[in-house]
Amino acid sequence: MKSEKRGIILLFVIIAVLIPVQSTGAEAPSEFGRRVDFGVQVQDYKWAEYADDGNKLLEETGNLFGLTCNIESAKNFIDWRTGMNFFLGEVDYKGRTWTDIPVTTDVLYAGTKLFIDAVPGYRLDSGLWLKSFVGFGGEFWLRDLDDTKTPNGDPVKGAREWWGCIYGRAGLGAEYQIADKMTVFAEGGVKLPIYARNEANFLVSGNPSAGLEPEQDFSGFGNIGLRWKQWGAKVSYDSLRFDRSDAVSSGLFNLYQPKSESDVYSVVIFWSKGF
Per DSSP bridges, beta strands 34-50 and 259-274 are: antiparallel
What pLDDT is recorded for position 12? 53
What pLDDT is recorded for position 98? 84
The pTM assigned to this predicted structure is 0.87
Dist CA 245 CA 182 (whole Å)? 47
What pLDDT is recorded for position 31? 54
Residues of the chain under the 70 pLDDT cut:
1-32, 76
Domains of the chain: 2-274 (2.40.128.100)
Contact predicate 58/95, CB 8 Å = yes
What pLDDT is recorded for position 274? 87
What pLDDT is recorded for position 32? 58
Is the backbone of residue 201 left (phi > 0), alpha (psi -120 to 50) or beta?
Answer: beta
